[in-house]
Structure 1
Amino acid sequence: MPAFLSRPLPVAILLAFAAQALFSYGLGTPAILVFDEIHYVPAARAILALSHPVNTEHPLLGKTLIAAGMALFGDNPVGWRALSTVAGTATVLGVYAILLRLFASVRTAAFGALFALFNFTIFVHARIAMLDGFMAAFVVLAVAAMLQATRSRPRLWWTVSSTLLGLAVGVKWAAAPYVAYAGAAFLLLKWRRPDLWPGLSIVGGLAILGVVSIATYFLTFAPAFFYAARPLTLATLIPFQLEMYQLQTQVLSPHTYQSQWWSWPLLLRPIWYLYEPVDGAQRGILLVGNPAVMWGGLIAVAACAWAFLRDRDWKLGGAAALWIGSYGVWAIIPKSLGFFYYYYLPSIFLSIALAAAAHRYMRGKLESWDESFLALAAGLFLYFYPILSADALPNPGAFRRWTWFETWV
C-alpha cells in the first residue's frame, strides 16, 4: 500500500473526491421533481424570492440550502440537488473523522467511510432535494467535533459541535434529541473522565451547548423576517414554533409506503421515490439499505455493546450507543405515520459500528474478513446501482430484478 494512504489527510481527500464524483454523476436525471421534492423545491423557491411562507411544517434551513443551490446553479434539477451532494460528502467525511478520533486508525476510519458510502441511503439522499441529508450531515459532523473537543481546543470544538447541532435542528426537529444526547454524553463522560474536554467544566460545557444550539436554531429563521407576505417578527417567532408542532403531530391519512419503526432495520418496507417513464426511459429510485451493511451492522452493534458490557470499552460502547439512541427515539416520537427514510441517520451509524467491531474483533485468522465484507457491500452497491441512480431500465417490469421480497414492490 502506498505510504500516503497511511496518512489521514490524503485518505480524507480521496474519500471526498470519490464521494462527490459518485454523488454528482448524472445528478440532472430525473429532470422532474421526485417524491418529497414536490414540497421542498417550491418552498426553496419561495425563500429564494423572499415571497411568503411555504411548507411551514419544518424549519427553514434545509429549504434555504436547497435555495442556495438554485441560486448557484439555476432552478433546474442540478440546482435543486447540488448542495445535497455536498451534504452527502460531508456525511461520509464525518464518519471518517469520528472513527479516526475514536481509534486513531486510518484503515478503520476509511473502512467505516466506505461502508457509509456503499450503504445506498447516503447515495440516494445525496441526489435528492430533501431535508434528511442536510440534517444528518450536521449531526454526524457535530459528533466528530464533539470528539475532537475531548482533547484539542475543547472550548472551540465544543462550540462548533453545539453550533452544528443547532443547525441540524434548524433543518428538522428530528435532530433535537441529539442535543439532549450530547449533553448527557458530556455529563457522563466528564464525570467519569475529568481529563476529557480539559479546561471545560460541566456547567460551562452544558451552558455553551444550550445557549449556542438554541441561538443558532433561531438564527436559521432569519430569511422569514424578510418575506414580502406574512413575514416573521420577534413577536411571532415563538408562536410559529407551536404552529410547526401542531403540523408535525397532526394525524395523516394512510400512505402507500408507511411503515412501523420496528420494521426499518429488517428492510421490510423501503420506498420507491420514483418508478415511471421519464427522460425517455423507464427509471426508478428505491430508497433501501445495503443488506450487507444494514443487517451486518445490527450484528456489529450487538458486538460493540457486548464489548462495553464485558470490558467497559467506552469507544465501542459509544459506537453502539450512536445507533441505539438514534433508532430508539423513533419508538417515542409522536408521529401518526412512519417511513423508512426516518431510519436514515441510524443507517449511517451502522457503518460506524461495523468499522468499530472490525477494529476490535477481526484479528488473526479473521484479519482479512473486513476486506471481504467491504467487497460484498461494494458488489451489492454495483448490483443495485441502476435503481438507486435513476438509470435507464429495459422495461416497466425491470424492478423485479431488484425486489427481493414482495414488500419491496
Structure 2
Amino acid sequence: MMTAAPSHPRPILVAVLLGLVAETLFLIRVSVPHTLVFDEVHYVPAARTMLALAAPVNTEHPLLGKAIIAAGIALFGDNSLGWRFFSTVAGAVTVAALFAITWQLLGRMRPAVLAGLFAMLSMTLFVQARIAMLDGFMAAFVVSAVAVLLASRRASGARALTRVALGGALIGLAIGCKWAAVPFLGYAGLAILVLRLREVSDRAYWRGVVTPALLLVLVVGAGAAYLLTFLPAFFYANDPLTLATLLPFQLTIYAEQTQILAPHTYQSSWWSWPLMLRPIWYLYERADGAMRGILMIGNPAILWGGLVAVAASLWASVRDRSAALLAIVALWLGAYLPWIVIPKSLGFFYYYFLSSLFLCPALAAALDRYVSKRAQSAFVILAAALFVYFYPIIVAMPLDGPDAFRRWTWFASWV
C-alpha cells in the first residue's frame, strides 16, 4: 500500500499569511495620533499638493512615495488613516518579501518563517509602517526586487528576462521614492555578473539568456519605471515638468540632497546606528488629549543579536564556502555601506532602517545553523517580550505624564 507523501506548506501561501498578519498588526491604532508626526510635516503637505496637481513641492526627493501617500488620502480622506494606510501595506509587503528572500537563499521553511517573524517584531519596521514617510515605500520595493531577482535565477529564456526586468522595475520604483535605493541597481548588476562567472561552465542560472541581455533589461526596467514616476508632474497647474526639463530636474534633486543642513537634536553618526546609540523620538508631546510618544528604535534582541548573526554568517560563509550566507551578509552590508560614503551633512538613526531589515534573514539563518529549535523558540519569545515591553512608546499609547519616557530609555542617549 502506497503512503501519501508528507504535505508541506507552499511558500507563497505562507508569505501571504505572514503579510496578512503583519498588516493586521500594523493597522491597529494606526490613526493615533490624529496629528502629523515627525517628517509627516513635509510629506503629507507635499502629497496634498500632488493630489491637487498644483505645483512642485518637496523637490528634495522624487515623487513616488508622496504619490502613494496622496493615494491614501484620495481613498480614505485627508486624515491620519489616509496619510498612513499605504505605509502599513508597504510594511506587510516587506515582511512577506523578507520571508521570500530567506526561502530563496536557504530553501527551508523554518528559517524563512523566523525571518518574517523577526521583521514583524523588529520595531524599526513597525514604526516606519505606521508613519507617512518615504523610507517604508522605498524599503518595500527594494526587498521585493531582491526577492524577484533571486527567483529569476532558475528561470530560463523569456521568463528569465521578464523576471529580471520586473526586478529592475521594482528597483526603479524604489529609487522613485528615495535615491538611497540607487546602489541596489549596481548590486543587482554585479550579482548577475558574479553568478554568471561562477557558473560559466554550465549556465545554471538564467538558462538560454546571454549576460548582456540580462543587464540590459535590468537597467531598462529600472530606468523606465523611475522616469514614469514623474508623470504626475507633467500635469501640474504651475511649473509643470516637460520632456526638456525632466533630466535637468534630477540635478535639482541632487543639489537639495547634498545641501548643508543645520544641526539637529537627534542627528547621529553612521557608526552609531548598528549599536542603536541615538534612536529618535518621532513624537513626545500631548496629542489626542494625552501625553504620547513614538520612539523610532530597534528591538534590542533583533538589532544587537542581528549583528552577532551577521558576524557568524560571515564566518560560516568563508569556512563552508556558503554563497547563501555570504549573500545575506552582503544585503546587510550593501544597505549600510552607502551611508558611510554618501555626501549627507547630517545622519539619523532611521537611515539604518533598510539595513536593519536585512538583520532578520541573517538572524534566522544563524539561529537555524547554530542553535537548537528550542533555543530558536526561546529567542522568538524574547524578541516578542521586548516588543510588548516597548509597545506603549512605539504605538503612541497614553502615558502617565511628561517623565513617563524614563521607563523605556535604558541609556541617557535614548532621551
Report TM bin, short chain: over 0.9
| Cross-structure match for 1:174 | 180
| Cross-structure match for 2:3 | none
Letter in 1 for 2:50: I
Q: Specify which of 233, 244, 247 is matched with residue 238 of structure 1.
A: 247
| Cross-structure match for 1:109 | 112
| Cross-structure match for 1:79 | 82
Question: What is the root-mean-square deviation of aligned Cα atoms in Å?
Answer: 1.2
| Cross-structure match for 1:386 | 392
Distance 1:297 1:166 in 2: 28
Letter in 2 for 1:13: V
Distance 1:11 1:21 in 2: 15
**Displacement after TM superposition at 1:157 (Å):** 1.4
Q: Specify which of 146, 150, 157 is matched with residue 149 of structure 2.
A: 146
Q: TM-score, normalised by structure 1?
A: 0.97
Tell whether the 8 Å contact from 2:16 to 2:96 is kept in structure 1 after alignment: no
Pair 44,295 (structure 1): closer, same or farther in 2 beyond 3 Å: same
Tell whether the 8 Å contact from 1:252 to 1:336 is kept in structure 2 after alignment: yes
Mapping 1:367-378, distance limit 5 Å: 367-378=373-384
Q: Specify which of 313, 334, 340 is matched with residue 331 of structure 1.
A: 340
Distance 1:160 1:210 in 2: 10
| Cross-structure match for 2:293 | 284
Structure 1 unaligned blocks of 5 or more: none
Tell whether the 8 Å contact from 2:103 to 2:109 is kept in structure 1 after alignment: yes
| Cross-structure match for 2:69 | 66
Deviations 1:202-234 (A, max 9, x none): 111111111110111111000000000000001
| Cross-structure match for 2:258 | 249
1:187 aligns with 2:193: yes
Tell whether the 8 Å contact from 1:39 to 1:55 is kept in structure 2 after alignment: yes
Structure 2 unaligned blocks of 5 or more: 1-5
Q: TM-score, normalised by structure 2?
A: 0.95
Letter in 2 for 1:96: F
Pair 215,6 (structure 1): closer, same or farther in 2 beyond 3 Å: closer
Worse-matched range after superposition: 252-261 or 388-397: 388-397
Q: Specify which of 46, 49, 53 is matched with residue 43 of structure 1.
A: 46
Distance 1:90 1:367 in 2: 27
Distance 1:186 1:379 in 2: 41
Distance 1:259 1:234 in 2: 39
Deviations 1:73-115 (A, max 9, x none): 0010000001000000000000011111112222111100101
Distance 2:70 2:267 in 1: 28
Tell whether the 8 Å contact from 2:118 to 2:380 is kept in structure 1 after alignment: yes
| Cross-structure match for 1:33 | 36
Letter in 2 for 1:380: L
Distance 2:224 2:12 in 1: 33
**Displacement after TM superposition at 1:197 (Å):** 1.8
Identity fraction in percent: 58
1:219 aligns with 2:225: no
Tell whether the 8 Å contact from 2:15 to 2:97 is kept in structure 1 after alignment: no
| Cross-structure match for 2:11 | 8
Tell whether the 8 Å contact from 1:283 to 1:391 is kept in structure 2 after alignment: yes
Distance 2:182 2:42 in 1: 22
Task: Give aligned pairs, total.
Answer: 404
| Cross-structure match for 2:60 | 57
1:98 aligns with 2:101: yes
| Cross-structure match for 2:123 | 120
Deviations 1:277-335 (A, max 9, x none): 11011100000101100111001111111112112100000011111111112110000
Distance 1:186 1:85 in 2: 32
| Cross-structure match for 2:210 | 201
Question: Following TM superposition, where does structure 1 have runs of at least 4 consecutive aligned residues deviating by more than 6 angstroms?
Answer: none
1:360 aligns with 2:369: yes
Distance 1:125 1:65 in 2: 15
